[in-house]
Amino acid sequence: MGMIMVKCPQTGRVIPTGIRSDRETFLRSVVFYGNTHCPVCRANHSWFAREAWVEEPVVRPREIFGDAPLC
């Protein structure tokens, strides 16, 4: 599970929407939009799925680099 992130249209900062989803589910939702309270400018922003992305919280370097030895 990850968090759906959007970019604040006012400041360009990345803000979490507070909505949890995984990439598969998110990509399958065709008509999907939301309204998120922005902690940066303290206003509500409407956004569409095409402007949003899922950020997975866990990054495992081992899965990226495989079993290659780190020298």
Q: Which residues bind Zn ion (CB under 5 A)?
A: 8, 10, 38, 40-41
If the CB atoms of residues 3 and 38 are measured against Zn ion, the closer one turns out to be 38
List, in order, residues 6 or more apart from 31 with CB less than 8 Å away. Answer: 49
Nearest distance from residue 59's CB to Zn ion, in Å?
26
If the CB atoms of residues 21 and 36 are measured against Zn ion, the closer one turns out to be 36
Report CA-CA distances (Å) from 36 to 13, 31, 47, 66, 68.
13, 17, 8, 37, 42
Tokens 């902690």, located at residue: 39
Nearest distance from residue 45's CB to Zn ion, in Å?
5
- Using Cβ positions, the residue closest to Zn ion within the complex turns out to be 38
